[in-house]
Amino acid sequence: MDTEDDPTPDLARLLRWEDSGGGWRVIAVGNGSLTLSLVTCDGGEEMGVLASTESSVLDHVGERMRYP
């Protein structure tokens, strides 16, 4: 099982984004997939999109629709 000490590639990208102060919003949820809009902390400008089917990303996001 992946942990935050040894994250999967998509989870590592998401954790780096969060650690640098970025936020995210869920823009799509599918059958075992998730798409996030990666946004700035100061106004919510979209800087990228992360689409993932990694269970570690799905678990990390959980029921939340945005971060922070």
Q: How confident is the model at residue 64 (pLDDT cuts 50, 70, 90)?
A: very high
Point out which residues pair with 29 in neighbouring strands.
34
Give the residue extent of every domain in the chain.
9-67
pLDDT of residue 5: 76
The reply to whether the predicted model has a pTM over 0.85 is yes
What are the distances in angstroms from CA 7 to CA 11, 42, 44? Answer: 6, 27, 26
pLDDT of residue 4: 59
Q: How confident is the model at residue 3 (pLDDT cuts 50, 70, 90)?
A: low
- Summarize pLDDT for 13-52 with one digit per residue, the tens: 999 999 999 999 999 999 999 999 999 999 899 999 999 9
